[in-house]
Amino acid sequence: MAAGRTGGKPTFTEQARRRQLIEATIEVISARGYGGASLSAIAEHAGVSKAAVLYHFGSKDDLAEATLAHVFDRFGEHVGQRVAEASGARARLVAYVRGMVGYQHRHRTHVRLITEVLLDDRGGTRFRQPGQHDRNQRWQMLAGLLAAGQAEGVFRDFDTKTTALAIGGAIDGVVSQWLADPGLDLDAAAGDLEAFVLAAVEAR
């Protein structure tokens, strides 16, 4: 992300403008898709000129990356806070599952943004910077929760990474179905998902 013409740390005004452009980018990409979200369209939605967008971000990809990072930060904070407030391995796992589904339920445009920015038209990954948005890294918190539950004797023995990826895939599948069918009761689906996850990991 460009630092603006002043260089160095962005001023308060520059930070506010960038936040405005990021919010506009979320709305435009979620509505039009990545391909249909030109810088001109984003600028128009934000009520600024295209030149103003380029003042803060050097390109559409730069703006999309910054927007994606913003969404992931908020997503991570939401889930992390709920996990931190829970007591015990079982409650923390439930808080994770509920936090993941709940955030996406309340932020449908963010889910669309993530899908549109990360995946290209062929189903591949649009951005390939080392370490960024790596699928294996997405579930590190969950793998840690599972390992902690095993240490407490609450969860049975299994490979935490594989199981974390499987649970993550189940969450993605439920949310993807909800995106395709807005009539799906996502709260009820989250309850079923919670029961499924606990049944899969709890010690007998």
Quick one: CA dihedral 44, 28, 76, 73, positive or negative? negative
The answer to whether 96 and 90 have CB atoms below 8 angstroms apart is no
64 within domain boundaries: no
- Pair (106, 49) in one structural domain: no
- Pair (152, 196) in one structural domain: yes
Q: Alpha helix locations (H) across 37-159?
A: 39-46, 50-56, 60-85, 89-106, 108-118, 135-138, 140-151
Residue 130, pLDDT score: 38
**Domain final residue, candidates 10, 35, 58:** 58
- Pair (116, 184) in one structural domain: yes
- Coil, strand or helix at 48: coil
Residue 54 CB neighbour total at 10 angstroms:
16
- Pair (175, 122) in one structural domain: yes
Compute the CA torsion angle 10, 13, 15, 16 (nearest 10 deg).
Answer: 180
What does the pLDDT look like over 20-64, one tens digit per residue? 999 999 999 999 999 899 999 999 999 999 999 999 999 999 999
Structural domain containing residue 119: 72-201
- Pair (49, 88) in one structural domain: no
| Length of the chain, in residues | 204
- Pair (102, 157) in one structural domain: yes
**Domain final residue, candidates 58, 82, 104:** 58
pTM of the model: 0.83
Domain count, the chain: 2
- Pair (24, 77) in one structural domain: no
d(CA 125, CA 71): 17
141 within domain boundaries: yes
The answer to whether 94 and 194 have CB atoms below 8 angstroms apart is yes
Question: In this structure, what CATH number is given to the domain that contains residue 40?
Answer: 1.10.10.60
- Pair (54, 151) in one structural domain: no
pLDDT tens for the 204 residues of the chain, in order: 454 554 567 788 888 999 999 999 999 999 999 989 999 999 999 999 999 999 999 999 999 999 999 999 999 999 999 999 999 999 999 999 999 999 999 999 999 999 888 765 555 556 554 344 444 467 889 999 999 999 999 999 999 999 999 999 999 999 999 989 989 999 999 999 999 999 999 988
Compute the CA torsion angle 157, 146, 118, 134 (nearest 10 deg).
Answer: -70
d(CA 155, CA 147): 8
Residue 139, pLDDT score: 81
- Pair (120, 174) in one structural domain: yes
65 within domain boundaries: no
- Pair (147, 95) in one structural domain: yes
**How many whole angstroms from its chain centre is CA 41?**
23
- Pair (1, 99) in one structural domain: no
- Pair (142, 181) in one structural domain: yes
